[in-house]
């Protein structure tokens, strides 16, 4: 029973490039959450998606960041025109039900470095 | 904005000692409280999800209590072992808003 998969594990981008982070939820889970961990900070919520729908994107920066979770395939977090401040660890989690009374299962994270 | 506080920030105990740490959260409109265990170089692992005032949950040597009226939860580890060394995160939310995570308590168990 594979857990939550994220790739790549490490990603280096130069300023102005695009970063694409992928997350495959656990089998049977249709709810995906993205979190960001900045250096010396805790996990911060970014976006919550269900298949083909964005449920809550209140934690997403208004510009350059977007997320999707298509009917087929992984969830994608996309950062356009990256800046140094985007350097962080990005974690995705999945759950089997809606709402925060279900356990969230986390992936290993993608560490993005912007040079 | 919901604020989740954890204390202490870090803790060193001897193998065999029992220990506990605290998670504080706003009690108004409380919805759920999560505890996670995060070992270095691994993913956060869910320990408990708690929703009811007075709830107590247990998994092996680890247990947690919840007081939603005063806004705190305790995590207890009985007879700490070196493999318990990790960062313990709690997260809470109000209404059906996203989870807000504390910064964690980093536990080191010395053999």
**What is the spatial distance between Cα B24 and Cα B8, in angstroms, rounded to a whole number?**
11
**What is the spatial distance between Cα A46 and Cα B70, in angstroms, rounded to a whole number?**
28
In Å, the largest CA–CA distance within chain B is 43
Contact B103 A104 (CB under 8 A): no
Whether residue B8 is preceded by a cis peptide bond, meaning omega within 30 degrees of 0, is yes
Interface test with A, best of B45, B50, B66, B98 (most A CBs within 10 A): B98
Question: What tokens were used for A57?
Answer: 């994107």
Residues of B in contact with A111 (CB under 8 A): none
* pLDDT, tens digit (0-9, with 9 covering 90-100), for A57-110: 999 999 999 999 999 999 999 999 999 999 999 999 999 887 678 899 999 999
**What is the spatial distance between Cα B11 and Cα B13, in angstroms, rounded to a whole number?**
7
* pLDDT, tens digit (0-9, with 9 covering 90-100), for A12-63: 999 999 999 999 999 989 999 999 998 888 899 999 999 889 999 999 999 9
Contact A100 B42 (CB under 8 A): no
Contact B103 A56 (CB under 8 A): no
Q: Are A40 and A56 in contact (CB under 8 A)?
A: no
CA–CA min distance B15, chain A (Å): 27
* pLDDT, tens digit (0-9, with 9 covering 90-100), for B70-88: 999 999 999 999 999 999 9
Q: Which residue of A has its CA nearest to B50?
A: A101
């Amino acid at each position: 029973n594979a857990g939550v998969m994220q790739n790549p594990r490490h990603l280096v981008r130069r300023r102005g490039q695009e970063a694409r982070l992928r997350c495959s939820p656990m089998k049977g889970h249709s709810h995906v959450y993205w979190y960001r961990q900045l250096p010396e900070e805790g996990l911060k919520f970014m976006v919550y998606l269900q298949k083909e729908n964005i449920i809550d994107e209140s934690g997403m920066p208004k510009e350059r960041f977007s997320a999707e979770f298509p009917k087929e395939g992984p969830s994608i977090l996309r950062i356009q025109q990256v800046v140094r401040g985007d350097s962080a660890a990005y974690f995705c989690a999945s759950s089997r039900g809606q709402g925060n009374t279900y356990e969230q299962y986390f992936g290993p994270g993608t560490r993005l470095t912007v040079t | 904005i919901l604020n989740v506080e954890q204390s202490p920030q870090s803790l060193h105990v001897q193998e065999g000692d029992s220990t506990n740490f605290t998670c504080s959260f706003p009690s108004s409109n409380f919805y759920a409280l999560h505890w996670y265990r995060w070992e270095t170089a691994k993913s956060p692992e869910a320990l408990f999800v708690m929703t009811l005032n007075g709830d107590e949950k247990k998994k092996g040597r680890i247990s947690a209590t919840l007081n939603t009226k005063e806004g705190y939860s305790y995590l207890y580890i009985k007879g700490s072992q070196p493999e318990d060394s990790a960062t313990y995160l709690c997260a809470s939310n109000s209404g059906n808003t996203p989870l807000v995570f504390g910064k964690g308590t980093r536990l080191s168990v010395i053999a």
